[in-house]
Amino acid sequence: MRRKKSNKRSNDPTKGAASAAAAAQPVVAPARHYYKGNRLKQLRAFCYAAKLGTLSRAAEALYLSQPSVSLQLSALEQELGVQLMQRAGRRLELTREGQALHALAQPLVDGFDQIDAAFAGRLAGLDAGELTIAAGASTIQYLLPPLIQRYRHLHPGVRLTLQNVTGQDGLALLRSDAVDFAVGSMLDVPADIAYEPVYHFDPMLITPVDHPLARRTDIELDDLSPYGLILPPRRLTTYRLVDLIFRKAKVPYRVAIEVGGWEVIKQYVAMGLGISIVTGICLTPNDRLAVHNLRRFFPQRSYGVVIRKGKYLSPAARAFIDLVKPGLFGRRDDDGPGHSER
Q: Is the Cβ–Cβ distance between 180 and 133 less than 8 Å? A: yes
In a domain, 5, yes or no: no
- Regarding whether 187 and 313 lie in a shared domain, the answer is yes
Average pLDDT over residues 102-127: 77
Q: How many domains does the chain have?
A: 3
Residue 64: which CATH number?
A: 1.10.10.10
Same domain for 210 and 324, yes or no, is no
The partner residues of 163 in beta bridges, in order of sequence, read: 134
Asked whether residue 17 is assigned to any structural domain, the reply reads no
Give the model's pLDDT for residue 164. Answer: 94
Which domain does 276 fall in, by range?
A: 203-299
Do 342 and 236 contact (CB within 8 A), yes or no? yes
Q: Are both 294 and 231 inside the same structural domain?
A: yes
Mean pLDDT of 87-116: 88
* Lowest mean per-residue pLDDT among 85-94, 124-133, 151-160: 124-133
Domain presence at residue 143 = yes
- Helix 55-62 vs helix 66-80: crossing angle, to nearest 10: 110
Q: Do 184 and 315 lie in a common domain?
A: yes
**Integer Cα distance of 6 and 311 in angstroms:** 74
In a domain, 68, yes or no: yes
CB 171 within 8 A of CB 339: yes
**Residues 192 and 135 placed together within one structural domain of the fold:** yes
Q: Are residues 82 and 122 in the same domain?
A: no
Per the CB < 8 A criterion, the answer to whether 288 and 206 are in contact is no
Do 277 and 219 share a structural domain? yes
The answer to whether residue 27 is domain-embedded is no
Give 168's pLDDT tier (boundaries 50, 70, 90): confident
**Domain end position, chosen among 104, 129, 158:** 104
Q: Do 71 and 182 share a domain, yes or no?
A: no
Calpha distance 212→225 (Å, rounded): 13
Specify whether 221 is located in the same domain as 163. Answer: no
Residues 277 and 225 in one domain: yes
Q: Is the pLDDT of residue 6 over 60?
A: no
Q: Which of helix, strand or coil describes residue 278?
A: strand
Closest CA to 142 of 279, 5, 45: 279
Straight-line distance from the first to the last Cα atom of the chain, in angstroms, rounded to the nearest whole number = 107
What is the rounded distance in angstroms from the CA atom of residue 300 to the CA atom of residue 281? 11
Q: Is there a domain that residue 21 lies in? A: no
Asked whether residue 243 falls in the same domain as residue 318, the answer is no
Nearest Cα to Cα of residue 274 among 213, 342, 215: 213
Output the domain CATH number for residue 260: 3.40.190.10
- Could you tell me how far CA 17 lies from the centroid of its own chain? 64
Give domain status of residue 214, yes or no: yes
219 in the same domain as 268: yes
Residue 332 inside a domain? The answer is yes
Task: List pLDDT tens digits, range 294-333.
Answer: 999 999 999 999 999 888 888 899 999 999 999 888 754 4
